[in-house]
Amino acid sequence: MRESVRRLLLGPPLPSDRESSERLSNPLALAVLSSDALSSVAYATEEMLKILVPVAGVAAYRLSLPIAGAVVGLLCLLVLSYRQTIKAYPNAGGAYIVTRDNFGLVPAQAAGMALLVDYVMTVAVSVSAAVAALYSYFPSLFPVRVVLAVTCIWLVAWGNLRGVRAAGRTFALPTYFFLASIASLLVGGLVSGLSGRLHPLPPASGLPVASAVPLLVLVRAYASGTTALTGVEAISNGVPIFRPVEWRNARRVLTWMGAILAVSFSGITLLAWRVHPVPTERRTVVSQLGEVVFGRSPAGRVALLLLQVATTLILVLAANTSFADFPRLASFHAGDGYLPRPLRRRGRRLVPSIGITALAVIATAVVVGLGADVHRMIPFYAVGVFTSFTFSQAGMTRRHLRLREPGWQQGLLVNALGAAGSGLALAAVLVTKFTHGAWVVALLVPAGVGLSLAVHRHYQRTDAWLAGPAAGRAGWHGTQVVIGLPRSDGVVEAAARRYAARLQPSGGSDVRCVGRRPAARATVDELRRRAAPGCLTVVVVPVRADEGFPPWSPVPRFLRRAARLEHVAVTTVATGRDRPPSGGRHACVVAVGGADGLARRGLAIARLLQPDELHAVHVDVDPEETAEAVERWESAELGVELRILPAPYRERAGPLRAEVQRLQQSGAEFVTVVVCTLRLRWWQRPLYRFDTDTIRQGLATVPGAAVVEHRVALPSRWDRGAELGRQRFDEDHVIA
């Protein structure tokens, strides 16, 4: 049932070898990666005027021209700079990678966190501006703007969860529809202006008449206008999704995007200079310009409606740039151990689905918290943008000085000017918008860096402890087997007893039945009381193979509770109606991630179960992890050969199911899969991805297949004065 719903919503899973076919052509890449930058023309001029008009009055429109010229100049400088970056880092040249390569991992966290904040705000600002364009034409939608914005966020997230190529095809048409609409607006304005039919709107009442405008106001207007530059770095972050030759195509698309953005932003600012629109909460500047240019005739009303629809669509889809780059950037952090490792995994459609979902959740919280108000969001928006710009261009400057590759003098000049320009813009944003909300981002970025460093320390210490001998130490001298029956079923109970008897409990331990309701807390308490010193308690819960785990089953909840107990291994065994052939072998398969303490503990448990044959397998979910696991396994000499199971769909349940069926076909009566995981505190659980439940689900319908889960507790005390990654713990903290 669950898989059918996933196929309906997301489509069938894609194998890993389809990744090359998911690459994008240049026109599709322009739609996917440039929608954020191109859509900013819908609100960048308006944000400048919101600062200038209340202070300068009609003079604001004249002052907006040199400010827009400065913004376009910085845009050209950044495009040239990122062309250098893409060539130097053809695999991915975002601020995080450039800063890590030239300044180290800790400064890279600051650049990366700033960019992650920028991506979140891009989603929030884009969808809020899209809804603003919608209620500018339909004022009755204003009260439900937050609901509409949240709906848009999750629609874009859903499109990205379906895959990169699917998202490109979905989002290409609205992007080019918007570009055509803006082109018609600019051409119409040019024709009207040359023919003398483009007249300014009547001045609004209450506008001041200013003879001089404070410099701080001009700087604030410039800082607001630089929102037109958001998204420029997206192409350098997304180089891997281009078709070969990736870096050449990425540079070409970046140039296209820069030219279109410069012309569109300049054209709208020029139109505003001639028309004198006054931005209000319920009417956007673009909608006022469209009304003047297209007129009030029926054809003009239709053209204005199309412009507003196109603006709404492109602003909604502008969030797609963040959904394309946020998960990729988060995976870089996770690969270095500074964010939760599950962010590295690709989902069923070859996209990092966890990162996409996380971005949608955070952006939803921002939209709800700020009421989908674009003007309130802008101060949060620009700090992260220019922080990442500055780090990236400064990193490229240092790279030129360090490597001195051919043509480095020209590259040095371009990137040094880019770093200076973006640094000045960052200073302008911080100074002018600090009290308006920029202080929040100025605190969030260091807090995010501190959190990432804490995550990294946890991974270092955990990996060091797992690599040590204490992590896999097992002092059990025997086992005791306990059968928990979810319901009264004689055939199922008989099959469970046959499996328990094959475990051959040593030390005279008997087979006992514990209750008829495994979900009851009393059953877990009874297990705790029955724990025998020096023994591993194996709890066997039979599951009907023709049912698996139905939604109403209490078994998964019971298993999660029982797995938290020390010296306990929880087991599900799939039972069929027919008695399996007698005299078959008992095979044991230990699923390992590498030659660490969890693997040693799993092998110890498997040997306690006294199987007729023992296998160690590693599921090839990530090629890099697999190569590292094979290298360490060969040097560890654990006495068991490691087999690699291919995982074309990047999940462990399917390959393990195939391995179990292979062993059953070779004559095994029961096949036990042993999985060892970490027993963690609540705040540590998001740092790891546990798929034991998925493995149970996959094997629950295979009669004779059993899944044993044992959780190893981390030491609770660390020696902070010792070498980083080492720790001291008392014998009480070592799992027997």
pLDDT surpasses 90 at 397: yes
> Binning pLDDT at 50, 70 and 90, where does residue 536 land?
confident
Highest mean pLDDT among 12-21, 145-154, 232-241: 145-154
User: pLDDT of 712-721, one tens digit each?
Assistant: 888 765 433 3
With pLDDT > 70 as the criterion, what percentage of the chain qualifies? 87
Q: What pLDDT, on a 0 to 100 scale, did the predictor assign at position 724?
A: 38
Please give the torsion angle defined by the CA atoms of residues 188, 190, 195 and 200, in that order, rounded to the nearest 10 degrees.
Answer: 90
> Binning pLDDT at 50, 70 and 90, where does residue 531 land?
confident
pLDDT surpasses 70 at 380: yes
pLDDT surpasses 60 at 253: yes
Residue with tokens 């599950």: 342
- Beta bridge partner(s), residue 242: 24
User: pLDDT of 113-134, one tens digit each?
Assistant: 988 998 898 899 888 888 888 8
The Cα angle at residue 644 between residues 640 and 650, in degrees rounded to 5: 140
pLDDT surpasses 90 at 347: no
Higher pLDDT, 23 or 108: 108
Q: What pLDDT, on a 0 to 100 scale, did the predictor assign at position 507?
A: 45
User: pLDDT of 690-710, one tens digit each?
Assistant: 888 889 988 988 988 999 999
Cα–Cα distance measured from residue 420 to residue 409, given in angstroms and rounded to the nearest whole number: 16
Omega before 351 cis (within 30°)? no
Higher pLDDT, 425 or 582: 425
Q: What pLDDT, on a 0 to 100 scale, did the predictor assign at position 487?
A: 64
Q: What pLDDT, on a 0 to 100 scale, did the predictor assign at position 459?
A: 92
Higher pLDDT, 725 or 81: 81
User: pLDDT of 163-173, one tens digit each?
Assistant: 755 556 666 78
Q: Indicate the CATH number of 474-733 among 3.40.50, 2.40.128, 3.40.720, 3.30.160.
A: 3.40.50
pLDDT, mean of residues 89-111: 86
Highest mean pLDDT among 17-31, 262-276, 420-434: 262-276
Q: Which overall architecture, per CATH, does domain 2-460 show?
A: Up-down Bundle (1.20)
- Domain positions in the chain are 2-460, 474-733
Mean pLDDT value across the chain: 83
Q: What pLDDT, on a 0 to 100 scale, did the predictor assign at position 28?
A: 83
Q: Are 153 and 319 in contact (CB under 8 A)?
A: yes
Q: Are 11 and 162 in contact (CB under 8 A)?
A: yes
Cα–Cα distance measured from residue 417 to residue 407, given in angstroms and rounded to the nearest whole number: 16
| Weakest mean pLDDT among 36-40, 447-451, 576-580, 637-641 | 576-580
Cα–Cα distance measured from residue 59 to residue 62, given in angstroms and rounded to the nearest whole number: 5
